[in-house]
Amino acid sequence: MKTLVAGWFSFELMGASAGDLLARDVACAWLREAGHDLDIALAAPFTGGVDWRSASPADYAQVVFVCGPFGNGPPLTDFLERFRNVPLVGLNLTMLDTLEAWNPFDILIERDSSARAHPDLAFLAPPARVPLVGVVLIDSQPEYKRRDRHETANAALRRLVAARDVAAVPIDTRLDTQNQAGLASAAQIESLLARMDCVVTTRLHGAVLALKNGVPALALDPVAGGAKIRRQLETLGWPVVFNADTLDDNAMAAAFDWCLSEEARQEAARCAARASRVLAQARVEFFEALAQRGRLRGARA
């Protein structure tokens, strides 16, 4: 007979969190290590398990309920009633009632209760890491009028990121209106960009600030034919820039993979160093021009 593993991930819209799933995975690993076959009770949007409402209690030697607050009320009371004749184990639970008042478990190893407390089971879950990807999009560019393809470009980048197992972080670089990401200064924006593994962007400064900090940027120029983003990245020698009117999803997917490589990080650092060298000469030119006021007047005339 099997063991049924349940938790808040077994009920729709009941707040199942990342911690619930990590604790569940630890519990399942323990059960398998002990030689148990098991089913996992899952509800939408989670898939691949069984529905506890239709699962037969007679199929299970025990039920293990994992993680979260546990109190004497629906939907838990419905669950308990269905499996009332099956031994019940509670693991990593916060018991909302005192154990003297209510404890439906045959075995309870709680996270915390009126009797004792343990560290949360998620501490034992193997560290899970996916790339952090900054998503820096522009909303419109009226200065380019009929050449503006920002909606097409933004949709392509959202599609690209959605197809990968990455943590997408929306980053708004605009500061003259209410910042959509809650950022209030250039330093806050740059600090966030600098911590990304890569950036996908339809904004010039999304690419510039990423590369400045050694972060690879997949840039998509939202202006038909290319405009300031393409010109800037060609000037820097950065190879990953696309045009909105000649989109190629396969090419962008390959470029995205490259942007997550160590080679791309090294190239981003080289681009930043190259930019600093060129701008050092621009600084000299600027000061020389300031020192020659007559030259300035002549240029203006």
Q: What is the pLDDT of residues 165-191, one digit of tens each?
A: 999 999 999 888 766 677 889 999 999
pLDDT digits (tens, 9 = 90+) for 135-148: 999 876 565 555 66
Residue 297 reports pLDDT greater than 70: no
- Encode burial over 209-235: b for 16+ CB neighbours within 10 A, e otherwise: bbbbbbbbbbbbbbbbebbebbebbee
**Quick one: pLDDT band at residue 245, thresholds 50, 70, 90?**
confident
**Quick one: pLDDT band at residue 226, thresholds 50, 70, 90?**
confident
Q: Among 132-146, 246-260, 286-300, which range has the highest average pLDDT?
A: 246-260
- Confidence (pLDDT) at 182: 78
Contact 231, 169 (CB under 8 A): no
**Stated pTM of the model:** 0.81
SS3 assignment, position 64: strand
SS3 assignment, position 126: coil
Burial status of residue 279 (CB atoms within 10 A of its CB: 0-12, 13-18, 19 or more): exposed
**Quick one: pLDDT band at residue 251, thresholds 50, 70, 90?**
very high
- 267, amino acid identity: E
pLDDT digits (tens, 9 = 90+) for 23-53: 999 999 999 999 999 999 999 999 999 999 9
Q: Mapped to the 3 state alphabet, what secondary structure does 253-275 carry?
A: HHHHHHHCCHHHHHHHHHHHHHH
Contact 130, 158 (CB under 8 A): no
Query: Which among 222, 194, 197 has a CA at the least distance from the CA of 208?
Result: 194
- Confidence (pLDDT) at 145: 59
Contact 218, 261 (CB under 8 A): no
- Confidence (pLDDT) at 227: 83
- Confidence (pLDDT) at 224: 84
- Confidence (pLDDT) at 148: 67
Contact 238, 217 (CB under 8 A): yes
Residue 194 reports pLDDT greater than 90: yes
